[in-house]
């Protein structure tokens, strides 16, 4: 289905062990890449914050990507990765429990790709019509403006649910939910219908590190390396 697929391989190392007490207070995710104008609104703040590589995200941050913009982020507790296309609005939610983050990303409008590999906590993508939850998988969620939700299965299994019903989405399948009162429908994916993310990765490698202070006042160093690899 995808002739040229680029996957991000995230390798991270902690100079000191990352445990429940060593998570940065309030930080649940870190920005890996930004292209164009990407910003968040935090809490009750009246002004937005422009994001850059290494920016930290907190529970409830509302993220917006402008036209021709793009963002990639990862959660600090595991290898869960989120890639956000242009013209998207989503709220990043995460509740810390011991050494994991219970994640829920609310997609108001736009398109995001989620990749979950070494899941520690619950990971859900919510939209106005439904909720998608996974364990060890990769899929795309597309929320149309004032419309329905499309789910595109890339790897693994995704459960789509709302008050009207539940459906399982597998690789090479497309799910559609018209409203929160309409049960999910799953069918084989038609060629050429899956949103493209490949063009958003234009660097071979991306490395950075940041220092944070935990709840006990100890300083920790977290290192990230994102490598782009082309599959044959």
* pLDDT tens digits for range 28-80: 899 999 999 999 999 888 899 999 999 999 999 999 999 999 999 988 877 68
Work out the percent of the chain whose per-residue pLDDT is above 90: 57
Q: Cα separation of 39 and 50, whole Å?
A: 4
Compute CA distances 187 → 41, 137, 176, 182, whole Å: 37, 18, 9, 16
Work out the percent of the chain whose per-residue pLDDT is above 70: 72
Is 215 a residue whose pLDDT tops 70? no
Q: Cα separation of 100 and 109, whole Å?
A: 27
pLDDT value, residue 112: 97
Reported as a pLDDT band with limits 50, 70 and 90, residue 131 is: very high
pLDDT value, residue 3: 40
Q: Which residues pair with 224 in a beta bridge?
A: 12, 208
Q: What is the model's pTM? A: 0.79
Q: Cα separation of 25 and 146, whole Å?
A: 36
User: How many other β-carbons are positioned within 10 Å of the β-carbon of residue 128?
Assistant: 18
Domains assigned to the chain? 6-230 (2.60.120.1440)
User: DSSP state, 194?
Assistant: S
pLDDT value, residue 201: 46
Reported as a pLDDT band with limits 50, 70 and 90, residue 206 is: low
Q: Cα separation of 88 and 84, whole Å?
A: 7
Q: Contact 60/102 with Cβ under 8 angstroms?
A: no
User: How many other β-carbons are positioned within 10 Å of the β-carbon of residue 210?
Assistant: 16
pLDDT value, residue 221: 57
Tokens, residue 128: 């106005």
Is 229 a residue whose pLDDT tops 60? no
DSSP-based three-state secondary structure for 69: coil
């Amino acid at each position: 289905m995808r002739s040229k697929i680029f996957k991000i391989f995230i390798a991270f190392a902690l100079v000191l062990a990352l445990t429940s007490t060593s998570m940065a207070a309030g930080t649940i995710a870190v920005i890996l890449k930004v292209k164009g104008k990407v910003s968040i609104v935090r809490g009750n703040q009246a002004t937005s914050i422009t994001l850059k590589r290494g920016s930290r995200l907190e529970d409830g941050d509302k993220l917006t990507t402008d036209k021709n913009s793009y963002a990639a982020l990862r959660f600090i507790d595991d290898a869960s990765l989120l890639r956000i296309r242009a013209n998207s609005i989503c709220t990043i939610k995460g509740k810390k429990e011991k050494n994991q983050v219970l994640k829920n990303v609310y997609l108001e409008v736009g398109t995001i790709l989620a990749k979950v590999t070494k899941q520690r906590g619950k990971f859900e993508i919510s939209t106005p019509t439904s909720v998608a939850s996974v364990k060890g998988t990769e899929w795309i969620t597309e929320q149309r403006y004032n419309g329905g939700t499309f789910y595109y299965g890339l790897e693994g299994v995704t459960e789509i649910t709302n008050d009207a019903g539940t459906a399982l989405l597998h690789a090479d399948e497309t799910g559609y939910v018209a409203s929160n009162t309409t049960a999910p429908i799953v069918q084989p994916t038609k060629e050429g219908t899956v949103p493209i993310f490949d063009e958003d990765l234009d660097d071979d490698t991306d490395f950075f590190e940041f220092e944070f202070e935990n709840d006990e006042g100890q300083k920790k160093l977290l290192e990230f390396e994102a490598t782009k690899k082309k599959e044959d």
